[in-house]
Amino acid sequence: MTTIPPAAEEVDLTAARALWAAGDPVVDVRSPQEYAAGHVAGAVNVPLDRLAFALDTLPPGQVLTVCSLGNRSRQGAERLARLGRPAVSLRGGTKAWAAAGLPTRTGPEPGERGRPRRSPWSRWWRCARTTRAGGG
């Protein structure tokens, strides 16, 4: 028997702004490039395909998921709900948020690095590949 996943609740700008103002986590599920081009101020970037892995790192509270128009964020809210985390999706996405004159940012949020963190093993792997390729 196939179970149908719960449909994510979509919220309008008024409800989304209230969640944002209350300090509930805002998760932008777009790619890092899309996020850097413009996002809801204070939102963290967790691409849709990485959402389950970041579940334990999200602060408490109902999660507001956002994307450009609301399609991917609705999928993200549904995934979070299946994992037991209350979540809603912003109807209209960041385009509606920005059009309403609500706070947005470009680039990384303060305290975030501009690029993904390197693995502590990356230097070792680079050296190992160079040594093997060079015959030594």
Please report, as a single letter, which amino acid is at residue 82. R
Report d(CA 35, CA 40) in Å as an integer.
Answer: 9
Q: In degrees, to the nearest 5, what angle opens at C-alpha 18 toward C-alphas 30 and 33?
A: 15
Instruction: Quote the radius of gyration of the chain (alpha carbons, Å).
Output: 18
Which of 51, 67, 80, 87 does the annotation list as catalytic?
A: 67
To the query of whether residue 67 is one of the catalytic residues in this protein, the response is yes
In the chain, the N- to C-terminal Cα span, in Å, equals 57
Active site residues: 67
